Amino acid sequence: MLDRPLTLRGGLVIPNRVAVAAMTNLQSHPDGLLSDEELTWLARRADGGFGLVATCAAYVALDGKAWPGELGIDRDACLPGLTRLAARLHQGGATCMVQLFHGGVRADPALTGTPTWSASTWTEDAPGFTPPRIGTLDDIHRTIDAFAVAAARAEAAGFDGVELHGAHGYLLSQFLSRTMNPRDDGWGGDLAGRARLVRECVRAVRARVSARFGVGVRLSFEDFGQARGMDLDDNLAVARWLADDGADFIHVSLWDVTRNTAKRPDAHALPLVREVLPADVAIFTAGKIWTRAEAEAVLAKGADVVALGRSGILNPDWPRDEHVTRPPVTRVQLAERAVSPVFADYLTKWKNFVSD
């Protein structure tokens, strides 16, 4: 099953069911332009047989940039590097996508030069947290346009699709949140209002790209980490709406694919999502998948594509190699896997991942 191609409903073909998950890696240049390190890291996975390779989260507007070394897709100056990257990933045999991103309150004013904004303002008991200002209608419409223009830019660069990052507590997730978005102007409050931003972004993206260009959304279905105010039934409804709006796939972001949902402890998220989506809308998922047997079990639950994060870092030939390396690993081993020193430094923050 893992080796079978998948055709999305617009006609885009992914050569197998194994993807590199979009991951923060801090490897781009300070101005958001592509670096050789970023290209080498992704190209190694394309060469290793991954059917789909996704970039790290790429900011669609400067006020959404969240960390140093984040890839940009916010201006035409990014096009030469993006074009080079898409061509190299295709050379390796992979379908390739850009993950489109806006950090909202998780953006970094030190990088953007502007205060953060979101659906509303609130405080968190976290070091260095600065409450966001309330986003204006101009902010909202400007951001919808930024997602659409970024998607068109990705297609112009030669990419095959985009994934809108609507998970993990970033801007689109902040608007979806029951706790972060009490707006009463049609862009918050009830579910229709809270889902309006991500839906308008998908519609705007779909209108700016070709029918074959893949469009998907990554969603957190329940609370975890910075994703707060997420309700399972709310987001099942949102997933269906997004399919109606033109999404070709929904990426179900699960931190652990073996766990059932918190709201329905007897039910796994994947069959629930499969039940609400049209049959021709694909499901991607990620979350502690290491072996082929684990990946096949995830497909059996209803997923169409498994996206590998940590296992993809340590096993660049995962689709072709039965041997699985697990952490901890040394910096030398990471370098052998096309992980740059700056990415390796970032990985030291993951408990028991880097051994020296």
> Which residues belong to the active site?
170
Q: Is 67 exposed, middle or buried (0-12, 13-18, 19+ CB in 10 A)?
A: middle
Q: Taking the CA atoms of 276, 279, 280 and 281 in sequence, report the sign of the dihedral they define.
A: positive
DSSP letter for each residue of 92-107: TT-EEEEEEE--GGGS
Both structure tokens of 229? 């105010």
What's the rounded Cα separation, in Å, for the pair 115 and 109? 6
Check: CB of residue 104 under 8 Å from CB of residue 65.
no
* Pairing between β-strand 13-14 and β-strand 6-7 as defined by DSSP bridges: antiparallel
Reported as type and span, the H/E element at residue 203 is helix 196-208
Both structure tokens of 222? 């329940």
Cβ neighbours around 50 below 10 Å, total:
31
Cβ neighbours around 282 below 10 Å, total:
23
What's the rounded Cα separation, in Å, for the pair 216 and 162? 6
What's the rounded Cα separation, in Å, for the pair 193 and 176? 8
76: left (phi over 0), alpha (psi -120 to 50) or beta: alpha
Helix (H, G, I), strand (E, B) or coil at 42: helix
What φ, ψ does residue 215 adopt, rounded to 5°? -130, 125
Name every residue whose Cβ is closer than 8 Å to that of residue 235 and which is 6 or more positions away in sequence. 176, 219, 220, 221, 222
What's the rounded Cα separation, in Å, for the pair 185 and 153? 31
Check: CB of residue 34 under 8 Å from CB of residue 67.
no
